[in-house]
Amino acid sequence: MGLVNRDEYEKLRTKALELFDKANIILTEEEKDNVEVADFGLGKIENTGLQVVTYVNTDLVCAKELALLPDQTCPEHKHPTREFDDGKEETFRCRYGKVFLYVEGKPAENLSAQPPEGDGQYYTVFNEIILKPGEQYTIYPNTIHWFKAGSDGAVVSEFSTRSTDEDDIFTDPRIKRIPEKIL
Q: How does pLDDT run across 94-126, given as a tens digit for each residue?
A: 999 999 999 999 999 999 999 999 999 999 999
pTM of the model: 0.94
Quickly state the pLDDT bin for 52 (edges 50, 70, 90).
very high
For residue 18, pLDDT over 50 is answered with yes
CA distance 124 to 66: 23
Give the C-alpha separation, 95 to 5, whole Å: 29
- Domain chopping of the chain, boundaries: 6-170
Dihedral (Cα; 17, 22, 162, 132), 10-degree rounding: -140
pLDDT band at 179 (very low <50, low <70, confident <90, very high): low
In the predicted model, is pLDDT for residue 178 greater than 70?
no
54-90 as b/e: b if 16+ CB within 10 A: beeeeeeebebbbbbbebbbbbbbbbeeeeeeebbbb
pLDDT in tens, 31-42: 999 999 998 989
Domain 6-170 homologous superfamily, CATH: Jelly Rolls (2.60.120.10)
DSSP symbol at 126 = -
